[in-house]
């Protein structure tokens, strides 16, 4: 939110977004200036005090958009202690009431700001690990679960359900599990574009760029040891072993998929380390075996900033999903795999993890969409 | 040579080569077992004592192919103090005599081993930097230069010329300058496949995998500081500033080409550091600018082995060039760009540096060649 | 053992030992050549097959002392599943029988090799964490515990007890808890020199050299994040959370003690990572706050070899303890703090962790002992 | 200057200075609040605009001492193109006139601010390398050189001469050569305390902490490869090979001196790299040989801030030199070796480089001085 306000005022460069680059020039993308933000939060306050607290932007820059941010006040979020350790209170509403409230928040918001279209992005803290069970497998079971207040339906799933029912494209940028057959089918049926899970920002981004390099050179990865330290609230949540499991599983899939074999010693560790703040640091050690079985090593130390890497992807996703919606597409948007650690994939297919194959998918989709748009323009 | 002997005996895994992977399964590739090696060297001795001295392979492994390596004795190399600091003696032959001798070495070698086909790979030490001048620009000028013993014709060019005249595919794996219009034209005219320059093994390999990642994420590279330490003879040669310049220029091109802008603070340093031996170490610091102009850093430390990374590429190149020759191709083999720091490119085009675009070129070429071969098989 | 055999034969340099340097020249140190090794192990076999399996030394070097190592066969070790996860069998002897057996092993060994003096070093795997309880607090309670087979008396304590009773100097090079009041008192009473705990080899060595530097420059340590990866049996044992706790606690003490304040974000992680083998790798990130509160960072990556760092310290310790014994000293040998992560300290004092203060203690002790020896020589 | 102003106002913590720690509590140290700064510069302007340009402090912090800094305007510096590449103009004064002007600046300054005592610190850019020649060897030759305008007398030497003649203690915090017999003798004769050369801040600080660790463990250093990148004006000056030589020589001495042998592969590289700004980054690779000749490596990456590390040392030095002066000491202050890469040492002695030995020297001196002060207090 702060970023858009700053860019709109010309106070910050438009880095980090494909939707602001030549790559997407052929698409009819919603202007950055026209985006309006609202959202839910477990904490009260406003976007200004939250930004201040998270200490991501230089203070003097932040002050220049204070007014805009003060005006954004979150609605109370739907949450559950079962899925989030730091949520201390039990839900007071039924599942159905929660879905209704989410829906109402959206329609009120749209009316209040006189908005043409909506997109929902899940940016909430990582929920605890959960298995896919019967209640998640068919739309009937899922809706029956909502009716019976089934505790296995997570807050993230409720948001996704509400979005699809309202015809609002949805992206799950969090690692929380939302790829469930019930909602995949609903999105397809209702022609609502959906994308997820878990924004690919730092270490996994690097991993999915380096792994294809090893393939190209036929270097065998014998071990990959990854450590992350971060000091923001995301880091604190991941100190909860059950949330940590969700995240680590999300980070581990890509490697084997890209390389085509199970890397024997692949470890991912995430630690809360306060001095790092919102900055995030990854240290990777990679053991490779080359010609004649000779061993070599690569160490990568990424000194990055969590929100700075994530925010432009969120803007890209919102705008690409909006384009997809207007083009009449629905269900899983495979061309957006580029943005995720655990990209959604249709049942019966495999997820695409290779960063450059992912990019290729997006390029092809953009070319196709641009061509259609050009031919429509030619007709009209 | 040692590697092939070991793999032939089943004493080492066949890692590191695309020609031994599924990728190239559709091609009619010369079996690894059938390759026979010969070569030139400034030093006397044999392949066994050279391998021993360079200390690349574990001693106990080396002993198992001692006999094969003892049998390989190099022919005296053509060299010149003007182009190589460590070459102490002036040439005693004219340029024409040198070309004749190189040619005779090859034909004698082919006859002695009853070989069907030859490929020549330039693996010599880096020559000093030289500008492209008139003598390099047309075949007429070049051949007149050979006749008049023009000192600007480097040893590397003489080898390349001899290969093309004999119809032998040639690859320049060294950074020494061989991409000159005179020989590019000759290779095309005589339908001899050529490829080069400067094998892409360690730091530049990483660079051409990471740079596309920055493009995909629209992260702006504000600086890239690269240091290399190596302790083998290659390292010693690069202590000569004029040879160093050739190498550094070769390493610097890729980045700007991939990113589409001139990286403002790109430095490449190479240092001879004896404790590293044939192992090679690269340390890279990358400064990137992301969303809202925020700065981040990546450090990469690559503990690699020079010869271990290079040798399988040499085997791939020899076999792919041989396939190309049999398929009737000639001139610059753009599909082999994958293997080079400064890939050859036809005049009027741009070099391809992006590792994944390069791989795509090779895949397409393999697919095409496999299809042709399959249809030929269907016919016969 | 292999090292001593190699050095005795002049096949390896005498690096890494203060007892082989000028520093200790004034002492009457037992010649390296005269040391004879024996020991206990959970596994059968001999020192040759163990060395082979642990793959620490180059194979060709190892072969040169094969005979010596084959001759060393371990006696069955005293162990307990309560203290070591990988010990699968329950003890078949009573605690008293175990102590007797340890004693008998030693006296038999001394007789068999006609040895003048013995020293015992505990090099066993890390035992699970245990609290100091009543049974450990007085000699009476401890001996009653032996009589009643108290399960809280660890194998490490039994070895230490046996050594002290036999008048054999003892060093605990493992992190297992042996600093208990009962045995500290016994060692003092019986005038047996003892030293421990937990050999200071890699990361903690670095920590206790860097921390004094921060003190000297009044740089405030705001966080220290330490990760270790190792792939040998020590690493596997540390995958057991209770053993890991013992080790991590041992590694954490030094920092606060040296700096004089509690470092707020000090984390130590140890991971079993197979590709590393007996080599050990540490990655440290240090956050420091300097002038005007400005933040800076240091990253240290130590690519070391566990046994190679440890073995010379063991030799030093054996010889220094022997000198101390002959000089009539008993109880905790504070001057050997230099060698330990958690140096023994007498009750009512503080442990010395600063590497350079520790070295100073040893230097002073050596000077004192050398002076005494010189004056004795003058007398006689 | 900015730091003192901030600390005086309580806007920044008093980190980084021994003179603000318990260590120096026994001395009669000039209160931080009472220091008044003046100085020379090649550039006009004032301390505020210089601080702004060098971008060391957060902007909002800087604004809080804007007024104090605006009031500090440098006097024109004495410089010479022979010693500094970026000095473009030839001197217009004779050497004697320059010395007089420096002296007058000081006496005027003292009078204007009604100061009790002065200390001079050389913080100028690194001068080009120069040899010690006859003109530097005796006071007579030096003063004759001043009279005859000898070009081999550097600006740094003129400042030092002026200070000593005025009885003002002097510290050379720059790497420029000032340790010359002529001035060493003069300082001793006139009882003026002097200290230098080249503030030990980042990489060399680390080196002199790690090298003693290797000694303590008898690990042999086989190679040490050091690279520095920095983007401030100091970095730019060091792009001049002759200034670079001065600096590199200053950085290279410590290692051999501490270890007691010539490290065979010690390299120090310094590169100007603009993205780093006033932050400074060092990457060190250390190759060590341990037990049985086995090799290990340590990599250190120090992300530091040049001025932040240097400034508190300057404050310490000014105050300690002032204490020394009042205590009647003169000549080389060996107890301040702690602060320098190339500590001054009296002829016939060796420089002390070991960080912990240096600290020990300072502690002893402080103890001695505190004792004297206490006994004086007891008398009075």
pLDDT digits (tens, 9 = 90+) for C76-135: 988 877 887 776 777 788 999 999 999 999 999 999 999 999 999 999 988 888 899 999
Task: Give residue D10's domain range.
Answer: 2-199+308-376
Q: Do B213 and A212 touch (CB under 8 A)?
A: no
pLDDT at position D251 over 90: no
Q: Which chains touch B (3 or more CB pairs under 8 A)?
A: A, C, D
CB-count exposure of residue A235 (10 Å: 0-12, 13-18, 19+): buried
Q: How far is CA A144 from CA A140, A148, A154, B78, in A?
A: 6, 6, 14, 83
Residue-wise over C227-243: b if at least 16 C-beta within 10 A, else e?
bbbbbbebbbbbebeeb
Domain-terminating residue out of A274, A306, A338: A306
pLDDT at position B306 over 90: no
**Of A285, A290, A299, which to mutate for an interface test with C (greatest number of C Cβ within 10 Å)?**
A285
State how far residue D222 is from chain B, nearest Cα, in angstroms: 7
Round to whole Å and give the CA distance between C162 and C318.
Answer: 17
Cβ partners under 8 Å of residue D148, min gap 6: none
Of A7, A16, A219, the CB nearest to B16: A219
Of D264, D275, D301, the CB nearest to B299: D301
A373-377, C199-203, C216-220: least confident range: A373-377
Of D203, D182, D209, D184, nearest to D194 (Cα)?
D184
Q: Are residues A209 and A278 in the same domain?
A: yes
State how far residue B183 is from chain D, nearest Cα, in angstroms: 39
C129-138, D53-62, D130-139, D290-299: least confident range: D53-62
Q: Are residues A73 and A102 in the same domain?
A: yes
Q: Do C267 and A271 touch (CB under 8 A)?
A: yes
For C358, name the nearest residue in chain D, comparing CA atoms only. D216
The total of structural domains in chain A comes to 2
Amino acid B222: pLDDT = 96
Q: What integer is the mean pLDDT of B326-345?
A: 95
- State what percent of residues in chain C have pLDDT above 90: 75
Write phi, then psi, for B295 (nearest 5 degrees): -95, 145
Of D15, D292, D302, the CB nearest to C3: D292
Round to whole Å and give the CA distance between D40 and D78.
Answer: 8
Which is it for strands D295-305 and C295-305: parallel, antiparallel or unpaired?
antiparallel
Round to whole Å and give the CA distance between A178 and A122.
Answer: 10
C206 touches chain D (CB under 8 A): yes
Q: Are residues A218 and A195 in the same domain?
A: no
Q: Whose structure tokens read 């049999």?
A: B326
B89 touches chain C (CB under 8 A): no
Q: Are residues C282 and C350 in the same domain?
A: no
Number of H helices, E strands in chain D: 13, 10
Q: Which chains touch A (3 or more CB pairs under 8 A)?
A: B, C, D
Average pLDDT, chain C: 92
Q: Tell me the CA end-to-end span of chain C in Å, nearest whole number.
A: 36
pLDDT at position D107 over 90: yes
Domain-terminating residue out of D253, D280, D307: D307
Of A204, B311, B275, nearest to D265 (Cα)?
B275
CATH number at residue C213: 3.30.360.10
Tell me the chain B residues in contact with residue C299 when contact means C-beta distances shorter than 8 Å. Answer: 299
State how far residue B360 is from chain A, nearest Cα, in angstroms: 10
- State pLDDT tens for residues B230-271: 988 777 777 777 777 777 776 777 899 999 999 999 999 989
For A263, name the nearest residue in chain C, comparing CA atoms only. C275
Domain-terminating residue out of B304, B320, B355: B304
DSSP structure class, residue C338: G
Q: Do B218 and A16 touch (CB under 8 A)?
A: yes
Binning pLDDT at 50, 70 and 90, where does residue D380 land?
low
Q: Are residues D9 and D142 in the same domain?
A: yes
DSSP structure class, residue A23: G
Of A289, A69, D332, C103, nearest to B304 (Cα)?
A289
Tell me the chain B residues in contact with residue A8 when contact means C-beta distances shorter than 8 Å. Answer: none
For D3, name the nearest residue in chain C, comparing CA atoms only. C292
B94 touches chain D (CB under 8 A): no
- State pLDDT tens for residues C59-79: 889 999 999 999 999 999 888
**What are the respective helix, strand and coil percentages of chain A, to the nearest 5?**
50, 15, 35
Which is it for strands A331-332 and A295-305: parallel, antiparallel or unpaired?
unpaired
Q: Whose structure tokens read 């084959």?
A: C70
pLDDT at position B373 over 80: yes
B9 touches chain A (CB under 8 A): no
Q: Locate C14 and state its tokens.
A: 């005498």
Beta strands in C98-192 (DSSP E): 120-122, 170-172
Cβ partners under 8 Å of residue D1, min gap 6: D37, D47, D51, D68, D69, D72
Of C206, C290, C308, the CB nearest to D15: C290
pLDDT at position A332 over 80: yes
B380 touches chain C (CB under 8 A): no
- State what percent of residues in chain D have pLDDT above 70: 99
- State pLDDT tens for residues B29-61: 999 999 999 999 988 889 999 998 888 888 889
State how far residue B53 is from chain D, nearest Cα, in angstroms: 19
Binning pLDDT at 50, 70 and 90, where does residue A306 land?
confident
Binning pLDDT at 50, 70 and 90, where does residue C238 land?
confident
- State pLDDT tens for residues C39-48: 999 888 899 9
CATH number at residue B150: 3.40.50.720
Q: Are residues C174 and C218 in the same domain?
A: no
Of C177, C140, C147, C133, nearest to C159 (Cα)?
C177
Of C60, C299, C301, the CB nearest to B60: C60
- State pLDDT tens for residues A248-259: 776 777 899 999
Binning pLDDT at 50, 70 and 90, where does residue C363 land?
very high
DSSP structure class, residue C136: G
Q: Are residues C85 and C230 in the same domain?
A: no
Round to whole Å and give the CA distance between B380 and B168.
Answer: 28
Q: Are residues D111 and D212 in the same domain?
A: no
B317 touches chain A (CB under 8 A): no
Q: How far is CA B251 from CA B177, B239, D283, in A?
A: 13, 16, 21
Binning pLDDT at 50, 70 and 90, where does residue B380 land?
low
* pTM for the structure as a whole: 0.93
Round to whole Å and give the CA distance between B98 and B78.
Answer: 7
Q: Are residues A130 and A253 in the same domain?
A: no
Round to whole Å and give the CA distance between B156 and D146.
Answer: 59
D213 touches chain C (CB under 8 A): yes
B129-133, B319-323, C83-87: least confident range: C83-87
Q: Are residues D187 and D319 in the same domain?
A: yes
Q: Are residues D278 and D329 in the same domain?
A: no
Tell me the chain D residues in contact with residue C20 when contact means C-beta distances shorter than 8 Å. Answer: 218
Round to whole Å and give the CA distance between B224 and B218.
Answer: 16
Round to whole Å and give the CA distance between C262 and C264.
Answer: 6
Binning pLDDT at 50, 70 and 90, where does residue C242 land?
confident
Cβ atoms of C304 and C225 closer than 8 Å: no
Q: Are residues B224 and B288 in the same domain?
A: yes
- State pLDDT tens for residues C261-290: 999 999 999 899 999 988 999 999 999 999
């Amino acid at each position: 939110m702060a970023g858009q306000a700053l860019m709109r005022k010309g106070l910050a460069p438009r880095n980090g977004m494909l939707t602001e680059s030549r790559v997407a020039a052929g698409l009819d993308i919603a202007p950055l200036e026209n985006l309006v933000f609202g959202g839910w939060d477990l904490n009260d306050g406003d976007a200004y005090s939250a930004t201040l607290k998270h200490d991501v932007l230089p203070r003097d820059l932040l002050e220049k958009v204070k007014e805009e941010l003060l005006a954004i006040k979150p609605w109370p979020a739907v949450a559950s202690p079962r899925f989030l350790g730091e949520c201390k209170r039990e839900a007071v509403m039924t599942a159905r009431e929660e879905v209704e409230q989410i829906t109402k928040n959206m329609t009120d918001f749209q009316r209040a700001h006189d908005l043409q279209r909506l997109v929902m992005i899940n940016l909430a803290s990582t929920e605890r690990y959960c298995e896919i069970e019967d209640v998640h497998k068919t739309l009937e079971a899922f809706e029956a679960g909502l009716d019976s207040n089934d505790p296995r339906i997570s807050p993230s799933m409720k948001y996704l359900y509400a979005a699809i029912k309202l015809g609002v494209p949805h992206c799950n940028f969090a690692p929380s599990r939302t790829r469930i057959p019930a909602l995949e089918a609903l999105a397809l049926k209702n022609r609502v574009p959906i994308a997820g899970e878990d924004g690919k920002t730092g270490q996994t981004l690097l991993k999915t760029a380096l792994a294809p390099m090893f393939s190209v050179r036929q270097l065998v990865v014998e071990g990959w040891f990854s450590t992350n330290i971060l000091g923001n609230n995301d880091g604190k949540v991941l100190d909860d072993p059950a949330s940590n499991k969700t995240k680590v599983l999300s980070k581990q899939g890509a490697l084997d998929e890209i390389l085509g074999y199970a890397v024997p010693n692949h470890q991912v560790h995430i630690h809360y380390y306060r001095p790092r703040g919102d900055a995030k640091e990854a240290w990777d050690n990679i053991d490779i075996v080359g010609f004649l079985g000779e061993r070599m090593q690569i160490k990568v130390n990424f000194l990055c900033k969590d929100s700075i890497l994530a925010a432009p992807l969120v803007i890209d996703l919102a705008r690409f999903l909006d384009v997809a919606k207007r083009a009449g597409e629905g269900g899983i948007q495979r061309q957006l795999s580029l943005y995720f650690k655990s990209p959604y994939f249709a049942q019966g297919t495999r997820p695409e993890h290779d960063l450059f194959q992912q990019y290729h998918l997006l390029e092809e989709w953009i070319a196709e969409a641009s061509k259609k748009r050009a031919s429509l323009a030619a007709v009209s």
